[in-house]
Structure 1
């Protein structure tokens, strides 16, 4: 059974009711807010393990809510919105959201994203020496990667890129976030550079981009390490 407190910031009472039934059936406890202002206040008072946030709130844009929460908290934020343009997704993720689901949504996908974010948050809160994903082992101390017991030789940048994706398993990491974190803020627009390194990583890991085991492309937005 799942555990965790989820804060749902959504002005549509029908969606709130639907998600309350679905989330509580999975063992989660739920707090609700119908406005951005109330959502920010409850994020501070109830200290949720995850925030599910609509962007189109009656009193403020959801990206403002993200910015307010990020001033003091790194709680995972999952966007749930009818806005489906790449620009909207990138803007929300760059503002500090961790994942993005477009309405209308399938409840199975929604629950999978919720579980992935909660797992990732628990892992990031702890100091972990290695990340294991099936046959892939990433030793964060020795900077060593092995696949099915065989060491894969990666450059320092390739390792840093893979490690950042793996630390955020299940989350979308935007192009800008990857470029800024691995290469520095001066390179945050060098998208072709990132594509080359992702291609090299996939080749060394034997990861077919048409049927990925490890790195999934989120077109126009970024990449997700499959959880």
Structure 2
């Protein structure tokens, strides 16, 4: 029997949503766990230790914000919020509390699956890592936290390096804004989008000094990728 790609826990009181996500995720090779309220969701997370949790905010027995806090305290840091609430302050609050992404209902299933894949790739790269990443003539040495172009070291700030490393680990793949900001500035979500634009601009300028190519591409309304 083929080993599942990863285990995903869906905490949502809408049976139709759980069924849709279970069918879609299952077809892609994920092991899917379900819970219809906060109490069962926290219990399932404790027992099965899923790699990713999909959390609805409007649960019948407890607000999703408090569930997220409980999950964070238990060490479950890979949590994507799924909600019909589309308030910007609400999003900031949840991302600042530790959610790695926020998806608003109704949602595109293809985009939803893409965000699942990105979240799990980021988790895998952070836990495993590799000694060296090579892309577009640049060499990123993870153990040294250094970047070279044709053996010449590129002077980057710590945050510029972290941003480039994250993009390079998933080159040619779009990383949503929310993943980048929650990974790089987990405690400053209110200003994180401004920080991200600033560092993208600085990083592009430094990379452009070594190559004529536009390496970092903006995907409107979604995120960035190393082209």
| TM-score over 0.5 for the pair | yes
2:79 is aligned, of 72, 77, 80, to: 77
How far residue 106 of structure 1 moved from its aligned partner, in angstroms, is: 1.1
Residues 25 and 61 of structure 1: CA distance in aligned 2, closer, same or farther (over 3 Å):
same
- Aligned partners of 1:214 and 1:226 also within 8 Å: yes
Partner residue of 1:156? 157
Matched, 1:140 2:142: yes
1:63 is aligned, of 62, 65, 79, to: 65
Partner residue of 2:36? 34
- Aligned partners of 2:96 and 2:186 also within 8 Å: no
How far residue 214 of structure 1 moved from its aligned partner, in angstroms, is: 3.8
Normalising by structure 2, what TM-score? Answer: 0.75
Partner residue of 1:19? 21
Unaligned runs of 5+ residues in structure 2 are 209-213
Identify the range of structure 1 (149-158 vs 90-99) with the bigger mean alpha-carbon deviation: 149-158
Normalising by structure 1, what TM-score? Answer: 0.75
Partner residue of 1:209? none
Q: Distance in 1 between matches of 2:56 and 2:50?
A: 16
Q: Deviations over 1:105-149 (max 9, x none)?
A: 1111111111121222122122433345666543222333246x5
Q: Distance in 1 between matches of 2:77 and 2:105?
A: 22
How far residue 215 of structure 1 moved from its aligned partner, in angstroms, is: 6.6
Q: Give the CA RMSD over aligned residues.
A: 3.5
Q: Distance in 2 between matches of 1:104 and 1:191?
A: 23
How far residue 48 of structure 1 moved from its aligned partner, in angstroms, is: 0.8
How many residues were matched structurally?
Answer: 213
